[in-house]
């Protein structure tokens, strides 16, 4: 293996007593161990030559951090890392044979009935949204679009300002508000606007026609 985990804090805790040369020898021995995935040979002169380190230094480090065996000098922590690495490779190979990593399945539906009721819920949401839009339009108001004067407007004018001709006043009212541009020509309550218009009319502005003409 060409990669292994290296815990800096743990390494320093166990190697602070080493000389720089011993520290370098230990690092090179670990690299050899992981690279070959096998114990360090018992032939110290051969190992020293490969590491380009003195035999005494290499032997000292081997005795402290490795355990001698018939197969060579072993480091059991490194053996554990190598074993984990091979388990990982086997898992990857198994996934490859199955077509790659297993895909995450869809979450099970806890209550299928809830799914069946979703379309109705969506419809209700749509209806509610439409109602909200209608309410929003109502709050924004409308432009004036009446062609003839409503009966209740006539009655209000007769009651509030008997000196005015409702039809004449309405014509002026309509012409004015139809020509007002933009938001200024939008009102929430045109009946209330009419009442205020009647109250604010100056006397003598509208010619009063004979009573029978508009009653």
DSSP string of 14-37?
A: HHTTS-HHHHHHHHHHHHHHHHHT
Distance from the Cα of residue 184 to its chain's centroid: 41
Check whether residue 84 and residue 20 sit in a common domain: yes
pLDDT digits (tens, 9 = 90+) for 94-152: 888 887 665 666 665 555 555 454 455 554 555 554 455 455 455 678 999 999 999 99
Are residues 81 and 13 part of one domain?
Answer: yes
Return all residues near 71 (Cβ < 8 A) that are at least 6 apart.
38, 39
> Is residue 47 domain-resident?
yes
* pTM of the shown model: 0.44
Domain assignment present for 199: yes
Same domain as 17, residue 76: yes
Q: Total domain count for the chain?
A: 2
Q: Is residue 79 part of a domain?
A: yes
Residue 61: inside a domain, yes or no?
yes
Q: Which domain holds residue 42?
A: 8-96
Spell out where the chain has E strands.
67-69, 72-74, 142-143, 186-187
As beta bridge partners, residue 143 has 186
The answer as to whether 120 is a domain residue is no
167 assigned to some structural domain: yes
Instruction: Read off the pLDDT of residues 36-62 as tens digits, 9 standing for 90 and up.
Output: 999 999 999 999 999 999 999 999 999
Reported as a single tens digit per residue, the pLDDT across 64-73 is 999 999 999 9
147 and 84 in one domain? Answer: no
Pair (172, 92) in one structural domain: no
Residue 162, both tokens = 């008997």
Q: How far apart are CA 145 and CA 190, in angstroms?
A: 10
């Amino acid at each position: 293996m060409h990669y292994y985990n290296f815990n800096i804090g743990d390494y320093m805790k166990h190697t602070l007593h080493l000389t720089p040369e011993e520290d370098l020898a230990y690092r090179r021995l670990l690299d050899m161990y992981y690279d070959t995935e096998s114990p360090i040979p018992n032939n110290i002169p051969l190992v020293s030559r490969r590491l380009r380190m003195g035999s005494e230094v290499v032997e000292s480090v081997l005795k402290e951090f490795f355990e001698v065996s018939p197969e060579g000098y072993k480091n059991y922590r490194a053996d554990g890392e190598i074993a984990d690495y091979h388990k990982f490779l086997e898992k990857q190979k198994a996934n490859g044979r199955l077509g790659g990593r297993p895909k995450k399945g869809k979450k099970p539906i806890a209550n299928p009935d809830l799914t069946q009721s979703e379309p109705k819920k969506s419809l209700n949401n749509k209806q509610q949204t439409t109602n909200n839009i209608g309410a929003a339009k109502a709050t924004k108001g409308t432009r004036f679009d009446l062609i003839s004067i409503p009966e209740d407007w006539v009655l209000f004018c007769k009651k509030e300002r008997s000196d005015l001709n409702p039809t004449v006043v309405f014509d002026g009212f309509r012409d004015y508000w139809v020509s007002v541009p933009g938001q200024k020509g939008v009102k929430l309550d045109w009946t209330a606007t009419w009442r205020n218009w009647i109250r604010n009319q100056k006397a003598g502005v509208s010619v009063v026609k004979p009573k029978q003409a508009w009653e």
